[in-house]
Structure 1
Amino acid sequence: MNIGIDARLLERRVTGIGRILMLLLKEIPKVDKKNKYFLFSYGSLDVEKNFYINVTTVKSLLPQKLFSPIWNNFILPHYLKKEKIDLLFSVNQILPLFKVKGCKYISIVNDVIYKADPNFLPFTYRKYLQFFAYFSIKISDLIITISKYSKKDILKHYKVDEKKIKVILQSANEEFMPMNLEVNEKKEIKAKLKLTKYTILYVGVIENRKNILGILKVADELKEYKDIRFLLIGKMGYGSKKIMKEVNERKNVIYRSNVDDGLLKKIYNIADVFLFPSYYEGFGYPPLEAMQSGLPVIAANNTSLAEIVDTGGLLHDPDDYISMAKNIIKLLNDNSFYMKMRNKGLERAKQFTLEKTVKETVDVFNSF
């Protein structure tokens, strides 16, 4: 079977959805020995050439959000026919509006955030997703989603057969793990990032739905503790201008962008607590990365976070800043409690493996 994959996400900075694709492509050659895989992109990709056939299409000077629908609905179908693709797989839920004869469509629908709250996405992007996602969900022969919560949310907002939706839990990069860093290396990293004795870490986009302002309120609760710093790592997103104005007004909060995975995995190991009070998550990769690294997690008890973190962390109402602050202090002052939550996180993280994710995905491909 010829399987085509929309791989354009790998041509820009990799975030949550792109990370799904990157990990899948890394593992698929170990699992699937009978299908042929075609990766469709604008330009050449750094992939395993002996396994994947990288089909380069056309580039454009138009902005990505304008050109993408054109590529998706006119250029991609042309190449699907040319390469005789039997199955098209998209990790970002956007598919061509019309079926190519003889080609099945499978999409990953991570979430339906555009239906959740108008403050979570820019108006034009929200409307773009609402329009194209509606048709993609309808035209998909099968939908893969990444949590039971997301499946429930899809069924809530769309009239779709429940049997058409398959939940496949995702996994974090295996490079995120407990590390035995030298004392001097820890000191160097802390000095470089201007950290103090204790670090409360957040990793993710700086945007409204992540409740960064909530993290700042927790920081305000603990501002008398001069040896505690809050470290925010991530790119700018919707609402970041207002958020960063608040961040810059606080001496106990530090922001960093452009942190690569090599440094990030070390930061997970020098931080003391991971704080993630997000309002909406289809899955929640950073808390899983933290648990997998042995870093105790405090997260919101909503959407998919309650499902993914579960007993592996401390869950709170995302607006209960006082309780989150109290838990941080308890973790820092009570070593037995700290080790208990660390071990619970490590155990919980073992439930999410790349091998399982890829095997279940390939099994879905082979079901057609």
Structure 2
Amino acid sequence: MLSKVLYIRNFANKVNPKSYNLQEIGFGKALIKKGFDCDVIYFDNNNKLKIEEVFQFRNNKLRILWMNGMKFLNNGIFTKVLRKKFLDEYDLIITTEYNQIMTFFLSNLCPEKLVLYHGPYGDNSNKKIQLLYDSFFLPRMRKNIKLNFSKSDLANNYLMKKGFKDVITLGVGLDTEHIDERINLNKEIESKLEKVKDKKVLLYIGVLEERRNISFLLNILKNILTLNNEIRLIIVGTGREDDTKKYWNFIKSNNLEESIIYFDKIEQRDLWRIYESSDVMLFPTNYDIFGMVLLESMHFQVPIISSVNGGSSTLIQHNINGLIIDKFDVSLWISEIQRLLNDSGLIAQIKQAAAETVREATWDHIAERMLMQIKH
């Protein structure tokens, strides 16, 4: 009988629970409510293990284990986890991504209780390392992992091409605990949002980098302003200095400063005000494992126009609960933005359908589906 679950986020970067809707925490809360104890491992730079209790339901607890690990590319290698004594504490172990070295180690140490929950749908950018990993590690790993789950339909297809069998798409859920708090109005946010009153507002939330197609996003703004200079763009996010410098140079050289309202980061509890001020969410990313902002937008009733990516391919039905554009053509995106902004009937339909989508995309539902497969 299962009683204690370990969920390992294998990436070698530190996360911030206040500014991002962390999937592991949402999934962990769902497991707690189903009667399990759950520990989530996050990478930390501090050599001393820090244990943080973040949620309790009845007698069950969700803890974050902030754990130092070795770094190899984007892999976090947690040597403490690889000890038998540590692994024996848990009845079920969830590992993220097949191509993280921790997944291979765990598939040899505890195959009988290891499940994979995979998000990426493309190979590592370092093709040589990817080839070596698949050649030496993949065949044995495929045999050892108990069950294989994916976060999107694209990730499912990717795993199947790698030879994994019976992959089940679970999707991703939305943890609404903090984004629905709406405790106090943030004065700094309110001051900036004064600029968008009575305007049509586009929204982008995410990392500022080329993978997310920020140059394309800014070109959309530049060109749509020639048709309607009352449009504004809210941007929430930051990125590497080289990238952000390039974007701000473009913004200044094209006189876009007055048309952009920028926040480098927003805490989860303040996100509602950003969404409430927006008319359309733009998500023109070249690649994204899922994109929690898609679920957040649906939750806050902001219609989405998205590229094809992990989240949109799984969540969005074109012209029903959002719009998907499969080309990066500025004039095409502008045409769809205008169509959406000017069609109140389409907006109402999308909002209604999106509300139904997000009602079904809960961590409780996803955890139940995983546990049903494990029990079988």
Q: TM-score if structure 2 supplies the norm length?
A: 0.76
Displacement after TM superposition at 1:271 (Å): 0.5
Q: Which residue in 1 is equivalent to 2:359?
A: 350
In structure 2, the CA distance between the partners of 1:262 and 1:18, relative to structure 1 (3 Å rule), is closer
2-structure distance, mates of 1:15, 1:189: 16
1-structure distance, mates of 2:145, 2:51: 27
Q: Which residue in 1 is equivalent to 2:250?
A: 246
1:295 aligned to 302, 317, 336, which one? 302
Q: Which residue in 1 is equivalent to 2:271?
A: 264
Displacement after TM superposition at 1:142 (Å): 1.9
2-structure distance, mates of 1:131, 1:236: 30
1:11/1:45 contact within 8 Å kept:
no
2:284/2:307 contact within 8 Å kept:
yes
Displacement after TM superposition at 1:289 (Å): 1.4
Root mean square deviation, CA, Å: 3.8
2:10/2:76 contact within 8 Å kept:
no
Structure 2 gap ranges (5+): 43-48
Is 1:89 the counterpart of 2:94 in the alignment? yes
Q: Which residue in 2 is equivalent to 1:159?
A: 163
2:40/2:63 contact within 8 Å kept:
yes
The structure where strand makes up a greater share of residues is 2
2-structure distance, mates of 1:133, 1:47: 37
In structure 2, the CA distance between the partners of 1:153 and 1:313, relative to structure 1 (3 Å rule), is same
Q: Match for 1:270: what amino acid?
A: S
Q: Once the two structures are superposed, what CA deviation does each residue of 1:217-252 show, in whole Å capped at 9, x if it has no partner?
A: 211221233321111212316973444443454332
Structure 1 gap ranges (5+): none
1-structure distance, mates of 2:260, 2:74: 38
In structure 2, the CA distance between the partners of 1:243 and 1:130, relative to structure 1 (3 Å rule), is farther
Q: Which residue in 2 is equivalent to 1:330?
A: 339
Q: Which residue in 2 is equivalent to 1:20?
A: 23
1:39/1:52 contact within 8 Å kept:
no
2:282 aligned to 275, 286, 297, which one? 275
1:3/1:86 contact within 8 Å kept:
yes
Q: Report the 3-state secondary structure (helix = DSSP H, G, I; strand = E; otherwise coil) of the residue aligned with 2:51.
A: coil
1-structure distance, mates of 2:313, 2:109: 39
In structure 2, the CA distance between the partners of 1:312 and 1:177, relative to structure 1 (3 Å rule), is farther
The structure where helix makes up a greater share of residues is 1
Q: Once the two structures are superposed, what CA deviation does each residue of 1:45-68 show, in whole Å capped at 9, x if it has no partner?
A: 2323642475968647x7x55796
Is 1:362 the counterpart of 2:367 in the alignment? no
In structure 2, the CA distance between the partners of 1:286 and 1:336, relative to structure 1 (3 Å rule), is same
Is 1:339 the counterpart of 2:374 in the alignment? no
1:111/1:154 contact within 8 Å kept:
no
Q: Report the 3-state secondary structure (helix = DSSP H, G, I; strand = E; otherwise coil) of the residue aligned with 1:4.
A: strand
Q: Report the 3-state secondary structure (helix = DSSP H, G, I; strand = E; otherwise coil) of the residue aligned with 2:294.
A: helix
Q: Match for 1:231: what amino acid?
A: I
In structure 2, the CA distance between the partners of 1:82 and 1:344, relative to structure 1 (3 Å rule), is closer
1-structure distance, mates of 2:293, 2:206: 7
In structure 2, the CA distance between the partners of 1:245 and 1:312, relative to structure 1 (3 Å rule), is same
Displacement after TM superposition at 1:316 (Å): 1.4
2:28/2:38 contact within 8 Å kept:
no
Q: Which residue in 1 is equivalent to 2:173?
A: 171
Q: Once the two structures are superposed, what CA deviation does each residue of 1:312-344 show, in whole Å capped at 9, x if it has no partner?
A: 112213412212212323333343343333333
Q: Which residue in 1 is equivalent to 2:118?
A: 109
1-structure distance, mates of 2:168, 2:41: 24
Q: Report the 3-state secondary structure (helix = DSSP H, G, I; strand = E; otherwise coil) of the residue aligned with 1:76.
A: coil
Is 1:51 the counterpart of 2:63 in the alignment? no
Identity %: 19
Is 1:208 the counterpart of 2:213 in the alignment? no
Displacement after TM superposition at 1:12 (Å): 2.5
